[in-house]
Structure 1
Amino acid sequence: MDARRRTTLMQDGPYGNAMPSGIPVPSSTVKKSALRAPASRMSMAPAAGHGGSQPTRGSIMGGMSHSASQDTLRRSTINRQSQMGGGRVQGKPEGGYVGQTPQSNRNMNGMSSVRRQSTFPSSSRPSMLPPSAAAARDGRPVKTAAFQASCRENIEQFCRTQRCPIAINDRTLHSPTQKDFLQIFRWLISEFLDPSFQWGLKAPTEEILYILGDLRYPGVGNISKTALAAPGSASNWGTLLAMLNWLVDLAKAHENWVNPDVISDPSRCKASDLPLDHPLLEDRVLWDFISQTYVRWFRGDGEEFPEIQAEVQDVYDRINQASVDESDELETLVHKRTVELQQLQAQEPPLKTLEEEYVRLMSDKTKFIAFIDLHRQKADKIKQGTAKAKAVISDHDHQLGAARSELGSIESAVSAQNLSPDEVQRMNHERETLSRQIEDLRLKTAEASQQSYDQEMSVTRSMDRFEQLLADYTALGHQIGTIPPISEGPMLGPDGIDYSVDLDLGVEDVNEVMAAGRRLRSEIWPALQSYGEGFRREMVEIENGNIALDDENDRLGQKVERQKEEAANLDMRLKVVNDQAEHAKTQLQVETSSANTRISRMENEVAQVLKDTQKGVVDLKGDIETKRIGFNELRHKTGNLQESIQREITSHIDVIIRAKEHASNQLKGIRGIAETH
């Protein structure tokens, strides 16, 4: 029986522990009790640990199976369970099924119609599948016309694609006879799901129910023997058509189950196709190598398998290359991290830098707060001055309005008077004179206003410069410590003098500005001069100390140079002595190495001569034995060839004789006919 035949749910995968192994084993390893088991059909349902096989293909791996047509490793929970509790070897001629029906559950005499209980829940472990209901209700709309039309289309397309030998027409899929139904059902089972099923041992209806039960068809409880006896009736055909459609879908899935272009299960791929990061790659490679070489060794193909070893070597070369690449990447990463660590260790600690930055920022924050408070006070003073200026402008506006009202009343009074022409002329002349004077005064007022504006702008620029200089003075005072921060309250500077300057140039009282100026010239400036003179004296002292330290450093440097020269002379003497010792040591090592090399070469030559002699004797014996075996085989083949040639010559002679006799008889007949006519 072909080991690659298709069986119901026959698959190489996580549940392949119950499958027939592709590794042949000696017949002595097969249990006698299994060999004496009667030849009954095996279950088509998955079973854990009861895997049937032929006597020449029985598994000795404790339930682990390996298909000879697809050398892939089968690993799953069921495999491990079968190794502990299952793995019974069956020497049955039909041992290609996934599961096997226990012999005790069968009626060996009559193959009764009582359905056996599935053995998928093995005694070695609990079942991983839920128990099937005895009469589960089919949820598909089997009675609807649309569903039946889709089922017919699916079945017809599958039969046409698979070149079904059964003639299927429109009547076959609408109202078939029992014969048509049985032909389609048996074709699906025999060709795709269970090629080894023995038909005719039971009634057709019992066989159908038996197979559907083994296939775990979910709607088997809705199919009765009466429906199978009359499948073409309107009440029965919908359910049976849905069942045939389910078998077609199962056959399609079964064909794709072992298609390497469709599947993506790692347990079904070759070990060479698995990714290098697969957790069981090495186990898979080892298993494939053992299974392939064992099959060929058992068949007597030889002891060495270079092509299989080359495949394994290729996989391990890829693994080693990946490991080397990963190691190089890790070494590069370690080197990079080491350099970064050295840089961090060589640099100043970042925490210390951050602490110093924090202290500097907090100091700047205090200074900025003081600066903002100072400007806030100045802004308040400017607002007060602006309010006073607005009040003065308002008073001037009232006075100007009153003057304009008085002028209007005077003009109206003059107009009301009855004056002579001379008086009018005189008044006009006076008016023109007054107008010219007013115009002159207006021009002088404009010039005075422009000069006042220019002076005001100059004063404003001077005040802005004074404000900038005052801000710089305050900032420098904060830096050198003569002016304490405002947050610390009013405090005197060095020598008990208040170095702060609080002066507002926008005040109306000029005496305050003059008093502040006198204070700057008489008190603050001399104090700053004396304060700076103290720093200059301190700087001179520090420079004198630095000069003295530089002189001392020069004297120490000269002394160190003399000691370095003495140490260099001693090092030169020591180096000469060490070189002489190293030269003597090297010469001794060279002589010793040359002597050892000559001794080793002579020993190797002697060993090689002995090895070549022994190998020549063994090779000569092997050649003699090979030639003897080849001669015997050649003589045997020659005898067989002579016999076959003699048989062929004899058969050809017989054919020639019969042909001559036939030709002679035909000629005689023709001659007789010719003579008759």
Structure 2
Amino acid sequence: MRRSSVGGAALGALNSFFTSSTSAIPQRDPRPLKDRSFQAKIGQEIHEYLLTNGFELEAGHSLTPTALKSPTQKDFTMIFQWLYHRLDPNYRFQKPIEQEAPPILKALRYPFAQSITKSQLTAVGSANSWPSFLAMLHWLLELIVTVERYQSGAYDDAAAAEGIDVGADRIIFRYLVRCYRAWLAGDDDHDEFLDEMSTAFDERAETYTSELSRLDAENAALREQLAELHDGEEPLKKVEDSRTLIETDTKKFLDYCSRIEARITKITATNAKLRDEISASDAELRAAEEEKGALQAAVDRQGLTPADIDRMTTERDKLSKGLSAISARVAETRVKLSEREAAATSALEALERAVARYNTLAYQIGLVPASAPNAGGREFEIVVAPSAGGEEARLLVDAAAGWQAGAVVAGGRDLRHEVRPALMELRREIAGRIHEAQDEGIRTQEAIDRVTEALAERADEVDTLHARVQSAVGEYQEIKDNIAVEGNASNAEIEKLEKELAGMRVGMREGVLAVEQRVQGVMIERDQLAHAAQALRERFHGEVDRILNEIIKFKVHIQDTLQGYEQLVEGELRGNDALMEG
């Protein structure tokens, strides 16, 4: 048996779109109904909506070009009925449109329903009445579009922006609508819809659980960043330290450039000196050649023998060879000296870079200067002694001796027996701090585990409530089956009585009145049973609604409890941070 929808009752879920009440005094319509352009605009919108959504195919009525300009009574009736069926598909029009339309418009809370009369509805195509009815159809169209957008979730983002979660309400609303439609179709079995609602709530619970896990991970990451910001240096101080370090590096680079320029000046002077020596050597060579010519002339004048000349030549060759050997040894010694000087300079520059990197790292971890937080009043900074003056001054202590290994560090500090033990002691201290932080992290994780166990217990309570709902639904189904059995028995009894009545009519006419009275009593009893079954069905529907409300309240309670646990964990973490900072 298919039940019929009854006007306003079918639209109870849509009341949130309308005003709470309508005034008994007709309101003045503020829309420009007499404006031809306005009429053409809303008529075009209605026409496009009808064609787009298959009006002609569903209603079996063709729209003429003048259907929304000068319509017939049938055009208006078909359009109105088709539009209203978009809101309530199960409603059946059984009366003329002038009797059906006013109650429907009042149920829909149409603001100007009081201005529409039955006499106007009998002649909707007149020039005076049609603008009002066209505006009414356009209002009904906008209502349909709004309801469709609401059902499709178009307004969920706006609700979410206001902090309102409509997901649960949408699941319950969808369940109630489908149950109502099934009831109108004569189907009282709603277990499938209840299972779908339970599945939807389970999916939302899983979504909330995953979101909670993600937020916990994000919260942990943010807490780690906050701890790093609290434990580390302040950003301004870090920038100032970087600026100081850059200034120091700039100063060292400028010093290095100054040394390079000094070396360039020295090499330029050396080149000029070598050019002067070459010029002097050329002058000496010319003087030697002139002296050779003079000596040759003197020899010629002295009348030396060839043996004397050979002897003098031999002695000169020996002297030349000795001079060449000495010059070669001097050149070789200069080359070795240059190589040793270059190696010493490279080693000194590598030492300066290593010391600069050491001092930079010590400054970053708070070891330099002696007043730094991790220095403990000890001096960890290392200064290389041969770092000022020219190239020769950096490699030589004085004109005759170079730097000793123990004197390279300024102040004669012993790195192996003074600085290294202090660094090892600081390393052990930092390792102890790390172990303490790890222990504190373990304690925090244990607190989080306890909170997780509490959440698991709450989830068990939710499962228990679901089981109670299933039990109530089973009891409702059993009572419904009993009512159906009693109804079948009543129908069988009625059929039996009808057969007896037919026999009694054939056998004796005198008992007709008594039998009719008995039939009426049975019919009254049947109606009473039907009303009792309807009341029992409504009572169980109310019980299901009450249980659903309890579930929703319990969900809100779980959310509040989770927020409380989150605040408790945050308080404990802040307390732990305060203890660590103290």
TM-score bracket for the superposition, by shorter chain length? 0.3 to 0.5
TM-score by structure 1 length?
0.35
Higher helix share: 2
Which protein is bigger by CA-based radius of gyration? 1
TM-score by structure 2 length?
0.40
